[in-house]
Amino acid sequence: MLGVGDTFPAFNVKATAELPLKDITIDNVFIDVHNQSYKGKWLVVFFYPKDFTFVCPTEIAAFGDLNEDFKDRDAQVLGGSTDSEFVHWAWRKHQEELRDLPFPLLADVKRELTSALGILDKHEGVAQRATYIVDPDGIIRFAMVTDLNVGRNPKEVLRVLDALQTDELCPCNWKKGDDTIDLQDATSEKPGKKAA
């Protein structure tokens, strides 16, 4: 699995557009998304196993609820699975909380991106429940994978993005607005000890 410090793989996939259901037409429902689509932005890319399941819509809706917070931090959220763009579209129409989803759902039907990331589940053949924060230079700064049955916490992903964007040392449970660690103060308090 690719991790922190690795370059996020180049990709070019079909996606279901982030438009509200009432604004979608046959001409704008499917879009192409690639690694240069959001040049200069942070990316929050999360993968889930399958459409029309039970845990996945709770996570997708939770990321949707926080979308404006991510946008305020110059970050683009992208969801994705190995389902096709057509299945994504059918699910969005069917699932109430996904109808006005404010970010694209990537369709990695060839499993190229999930394979390049190393998150294609060996037993199920679907994307693992993986989350990445990618900086504007395309470098992975955060990576997390949970069991297929266990949903993630989008608020924690937002907290980590906030911490990464400080470019400072952030202690355990740090949140936006808290003090960061001043390395000079930390090392001067205990002579002979180095902070980490």
Q: Token match 């949970």: residue?
A: 146
Residue 103 to residue 97: CA distance in whole angstroms: 13
Closest to 158 (Cα-Cα) out of 52, 62, 14, 28? 62
User: What pLDDT does residue 184 have?
Assistant: 75
User: What pLDDT does residue 191 have?
Assistant: 47
User: What pLDDT does residue 114 have?
Assistant: 98
Parallel, antiparallel, or unpaired for β 105-107 and 75-81?
parallel
User: What pLDDT does residue 187 have?
Assistant: 64
User: What pLDDT does residue 106 have?
Assistant: 98
Residue 5 falls inside a structural domain = no
User: What pLDDT does residue 82 have?
Assistant: 98
Radius of gyration (C-alpha) of the chain in whole angstroms: 18
Q: What dihedral do alpha carbons 91, 49, 108, 64 form, nearest 10°?
A: 60
- Domain of 158 in residue numbering reads as 12-167
Is 10:43 a contact under the CB 8 Å cutoff? no
Residue 3 falls inside a structural domain = no
Residue 184 falls inside a structural domain = no
Catalytic residue among 24, 56, 75, 77: 56
Low-confidence spans in the chain with pLDDT less than 70: 186-196
Residue 183 falls inside a structural domain = no
Residue 188 falls inside a structural domain = no
**Domain count along the chain:** 1
Residue 175 falls inside a structural domain = no
User: What pLDDT does residue 22 have?
Assistant: 87
What's the CATH number where 57 sits? 3.40.30.10
Whether residue 172 lies in the annotated active site: no
Residues in the chain: 196
